[in-house]
Amino acid sequence: MPNYRFSDAKRTPSDSQASFPSDLDVAKEGDVVLVSPIQGAGAQPSTGRVFQWRSDGAYKVTAVGVLAGTPGNGAGNIIGDCNVGGTSAFAATADRPSQTANTASADQGVEAVTTAAAAVAKGDIVTLDLDDNGAAGTRSVSVWARLSRQV
């Protein structure tokens, strides 16, 4: 599984079918923005871990989001998660970022941001997960997290 780190990440909708949140453009110096590779561009994405990163210092998870270039039709939400050392950054599943089916056209994407407060120590493994892949027809899903460096 690739191990990417994006600082001051800037992507445009042409990079994928999903529109990345404007918050990624305002990361403060020392912050880390983790963005998963696009999952399921040609087919409905699989659930499970989509990205992992080993921390190089002390951070706090400050935001997590999920984006789908094409939310599916029908019932079912697209739910993302951020785990630190195998434990969710969120106390309850209902707190995780969730995009409702039927909420965007294929080229629009929707941002669903939930603020978290999980501490990350140096050496911790941070993973981004897709907990639910939504309704049939869901395509081009990405999960992202912003971590603020703690001093």
Give the whole-angstrom CA distance, residue 137 versus residue 100.
13
pTM assigned to the model: 0.75
Q: Is the pLDDT of residue 5 over 50?
A: no
Q: Residue 116 has what DSSP assignment?
A: -
In which band, very low, low, confident or very high, does the pLDDT at 111 lie, cut at 50, 70 and 90?
A: low
Lowest mean pLDDT among 18-22, 28-32, 41-45, 66-70: 18-22
- φ and ψ of 7, to 5 deg: -105, 140
pLDDT of residue 117: 76
Q: State percent of the chain over pLDDT 90.
A: 20
Beta carbons of 68 and 108 less than 8 angstroms apart: no
Looking at residue 110, its pLDDT comes to 55
Contacts of 40 (CB under 8 A, 6+ apart): 46, 133, 138, 139, 140, 141
pLDDT at 13: 36
Q: What is the pLDDT of residue 16?
A: 40
d(CA 83, CA 115): 14
Q: Which tens digits make up the pLDDT trace of 50-106?
A: 889 999 999 999 888 888 877 777 777 888 899 999 999 988 888 888 887 766 544
**Per-chain mean pLDDT for the chain:** 75
pLDDT score, position 113: 72
End-to-end CA distance of the chain: 30
Burial class (CB in 10 A: 0-12, 13-18, 19+), 128: buried
Position 53 scores a pLDDT of: 94
pLDDT per residue as tens digits for the range 121-134: 999 999 999 888 88
> In DSSP terms, which residues pair with 78 in a beta bridge?
99, 133
